[in-house]
Amino acid sequence: MKTDIHPDYHPVIFQDMTTGRRFFSRSTSKSDKTEEVDGVEHYVISMGITSDSHPFFTGQKQFVDTEGRIDKFQKRFGTVRRSKKPSLGGN
């Protein structure tokens, strides 16, 4: 491995802003906020969404489609009929 070409890799705490849960990891990302945990300096990075608050991982759905797409289409445009195709003949 070549020296001096790779970014610094250091301890980081990713904190979910919604739930407050913290994930300890290592990353090349930095922040102005730091915290010492077990004698090791960690950068603290606040995240809007993590696996702790994302609807896919929590099982909560934000939008529930109660009607199928075809039913919605039929309800909206069911009475509209297509007109006859125009004839290609000149007369």
With 0.85 as the threshold, say if the pTM is over it.
Answer: no
- Name 49's Cβ contacts closer than 8 Å, sequence gap at least 6: 16, 18
- Does residue 71 sit within a domain? no
Domain that holds residue 35: 10-49
- Does residue 89 sit within a domain? no
The rounded average pLDDT for each run of 10 residues, N- to C-terminus, in the chain (91 residues) is 84 88 91 91 87 67 60 73 66 59
pLDDT of residue 44: 92
- Does residue 77 sit within a domain? no
DSSP type of residue 38: T
- Does residue 67 sit within a domain? no
Ordered DSSP codes for 4-25: T-SPP-EEEEEEETTT--EEEE
Structure token pair of residue 42: 């960690």
- Does residue 90 sit within a domain? no
- Does residue 21 sit within a domain? yes
Strands 40-47 and 22-27: unpaired
Domain count, the chain: 1
- Does residue 17 sit within a domain? yes
Specify whether the CB–CB gap between 16 and 52 falls below 8 A.
yes
- Does residue 39 sit within a domain? yes
